[in-house]
């Protein structure tokens, strides 16, 4: 009798457990009435093949090119919802689910700058690959360059910092399970810049949310990153004579290439490892009249400050500088006005003074005050990833060496802090990898091989236990690859084998410097 009872209990238990994955699928439209905590589902409807048009700001019409970019999308269920986890929260999220051919996985996508919009382009890429996907505006509407949304709204800053992404993740998984009758078997995060910071915050604060995280060019040391933006602005704009006109960027770039391009044995217009480059812009200081091909003495000092780390008066490094090779895109930080992402942060979130002058930032007392004020809210610098790694989580980081907005060595600094905190590189080699991309600018573009499939890499790592020893990357011209190279896990770099075309990745190997 006891044996019979035990057997019956086992059958009942198995039935109850299995019911979670055997729940009847719900139609897309029926999701409108789904009840979720602190959530209002505003819309749930099927978008037919090629019929999606991204929303435009009020009173505007999407340009034809923006609409055309989504014409190849398959049919999908689009759920729009608003989350209110606090009394001052207004977090918009969207969840998209393929009408057919779902691969059983979930891919959430990140934002840029101060967010303020749903990342429709990244969601479209996920849908094309058969993923269910989600994105959030992080709790406010904006263009990504303005932090005024958080002025006297501390809860909205919390939403942006981490809460919106986590709450979106939880709700999205429930919606997906309701629609398909089964939960995603694996969950991935894919983001760059702010999206990279969001990914690291998830790994640090909510280690069970994702199985694999792609964190590109992460803005994770955000308070110091924005301080560095003001450092460059002060160097360029405090004295009108210090500003380097855009027409001089090409000359500085060529001088940097002349000094360092061939250090890796291949002259290809890309500095493979800028850390080996010791270029001094004084090499092109004007010896006569000012000209587009040279720098004046004040401009030389500006260039030196752009390459150098931001420091306080005691020489303590606040944030790394930009690298040789980044000159063509210096206007991002060294243009005729401070970067709005940084300037509005200090105006509205730090000093709460819309008239704050960037020239007054004190790199001693103000930075210390900001660090204390943030107290780990925006920053995602915690190196303890043991909870994430211990459950099998994989972290794929990448960063372009000529990033013009977030200094590349910031990623090296975080990666190094993690390996040190976790007991050394060998202890976590199967859990975290960093790939530095020669010639790539902020998240994409540049003269290097900046096109690569990070999703395929993280999929193979998580699902097939294939720790990436390298990533095949291409330089694209008009949609055609004219050069390929392996991207190598830091600290190794791609070294030419000495024979064959230097445009073919097969003729390079990842080697330690």
Active site residues: 193, 403, 442
The pair of three-digit structure tokens given for residue 171, joined into one six-digit string: 């709700």
Confirm if 120 and 197 have CB atoms less than 8 A apart.
no
| SS3 of residue 159 by DSSP | helix
Residue closest to 256 by CA, chosen among 286, 276, 279, 284? 279
| SS3 of residue 346 by DSSP | helix
Torsion angle of the four alpha carbons 189, 202, 91, 48, in this order, in degrees rounded to the nearest 10: 10
Tell me how far apart the alpha carbons of residues 192 and 359 are, in angstroms, rounded to a whole number.
29
Looking only at the bridges linking them, the beta strands covering 212-216 and 186-192 are parallel
Q: Where are the beta strands (DSSP E) in 25-138?
A: 39-47, 76-83, 91-98, 105-109, 132-136
Tell me how far apart the alpha carbons of residues 280 and 278 are, in angstroms, rounded to a whole number.
6
The separation between CA 96 and the C-alpha centre of its own chain, rounded to angstroms, equals: 21
The pair of three-digit structure tokens given for residue 342, joined into one six-digit string: 């940084």
Looking only at the bridges linking them, the beta strands covering 432-437 and 186-192 are unpaired
Torsion angle of the four alpha carbons 127, 131, 137, 143, in this order, in degrees rounded to the nearest 10: -40
Tell me how far apart the alpha carbons of residues 485 and 502 are, in angstroms, rounded to a whole number.
9
Q: What is the CA radius of gyration of the chain?
A: 25
SS (H, E, C) 193-252: CHHHHHHHHHHHHCCCCCCEEEEECCCCCHHHHHHHHHHHHHHHHCCHHHCCCHHHHHHH
Residue closest to 401 by CA, chosen among 497, 342, 499, 485? 485
Q: Exposed e or buried b for every residue in 413-450, given b needs 16+ CB within 10 A?
A: bbbbebbeebeebeebeebbbbbbbbbbbbbebbbbbb
Residue closest to 293 by CA, chosen among 331, 254, 341? 254
Return the half-sphere exposure (C-beta side, CA atoms, 13 A cut-off) of residue 82. 11
What letter does residue 23 receive in the DSSP assignment?
A: P
The position carrying tokens 């789904």 is: 34
The pair of three-digit structure tokens given for residue 441, joined into one six-digit string: 């600018």
């Amino acid at each position: 009798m006891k044996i019979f009872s035990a057997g019956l209990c086992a059958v009942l238990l198995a039935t109850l457990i299995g019911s979670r994955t055997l729940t009847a699928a719900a139609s897309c439209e029926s999701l409108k009435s789904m009840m979720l905590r602190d959530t209002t589902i505003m819309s749930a409807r099927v978008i037919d093949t090629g019929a999606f048009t991204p929303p435009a700001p009020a009173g505007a019409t999407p340009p034809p090119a923006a609409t055309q970019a989504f014409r190849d999308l398959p049919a999908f269920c689009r759920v729009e919802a608003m989350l209110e986890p606090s009394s001052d929260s207004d977090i918009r999220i969207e969840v998209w689910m393929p009408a057919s051919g779902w691969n059983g996985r979930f891919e959430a996508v990140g934002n840029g700058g101060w967010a303020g919009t749903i990342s429709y382009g990244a969601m479209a890429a996920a849908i094309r690959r058969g993923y269910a996907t989600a994105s959030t505006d992080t709790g406010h509407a904006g263009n990504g360059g303005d932090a005024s949304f958080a002025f006297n709204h501390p809860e909205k800053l919390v939403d942006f910092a981490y809460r919106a992404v986590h709450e979106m993740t939880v709700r999205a998984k429930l919606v997906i399970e309701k629609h398909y009758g089964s939960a995603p078997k694996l969950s991935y995060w894919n983001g760059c810049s702010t999206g990279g910071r969001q990914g690291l915050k998830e790994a640090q604060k909510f280690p069970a949310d994702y199985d694999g995280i792609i964190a590109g060019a992460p803005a994770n040391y955000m308070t110091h990153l924005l301080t560095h933006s003001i450092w460059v602005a002060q160097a360029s704009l405090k004295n009108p004579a210090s500003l380097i006109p855009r027409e001089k960027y090409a000359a500085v770039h060529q001088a940097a290439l002349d000094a360092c391009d061939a250090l890796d044995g291949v002259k290809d217009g890309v500095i493979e490892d800028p850390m080996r480059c010791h270029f001094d812009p004084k090499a092109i200081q004007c010896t006569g009249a000012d000209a587009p091909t040279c720098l004046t003495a004040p401009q030389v000092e500006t260039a030196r400050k752009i390459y150098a780390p931001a420091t306080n008066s005691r020489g303590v490094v606040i944030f790394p500088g930009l690298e040789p090779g980044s000159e063509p895109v210096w206007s991002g930080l060294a243009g005729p006005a401070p970067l709005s992402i940084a300037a509005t942060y200090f105006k509205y979130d730090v000093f709460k003074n819309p008239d704050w002058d960037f020239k007054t930032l004190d790199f001693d007392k103000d930075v210390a005050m900001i660090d204390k004020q943030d107290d780990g809210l925006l920053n995602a610098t915690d190196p303890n990833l043991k909870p994430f790694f211990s459950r099998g989580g994989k972290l794929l980081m990448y960063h372009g060496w000529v990033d013009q907005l977030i200094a590349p060595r910031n990623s090296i600094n975080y990666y190094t802090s993690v390996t040190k905190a976790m007991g050394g590189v060998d202890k976590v080699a199967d859990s975290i990898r960093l790939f530095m991309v020669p010639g790539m600018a902020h998240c994409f573009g540049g003269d290097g091989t900046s096109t690569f499939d990070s999703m395929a890499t993280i999929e193979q790592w998580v699902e097939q236990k294939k720790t990436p020893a390298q990533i095949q990357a291409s330089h694209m011209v008009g949609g055609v690859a004219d050069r390929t190279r392996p991207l190598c896990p830091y600290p190794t770099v791609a070294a030419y084998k000495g024979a064959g075309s230097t445009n073919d990745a097969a003729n390079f190997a990842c080697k330690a410097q």
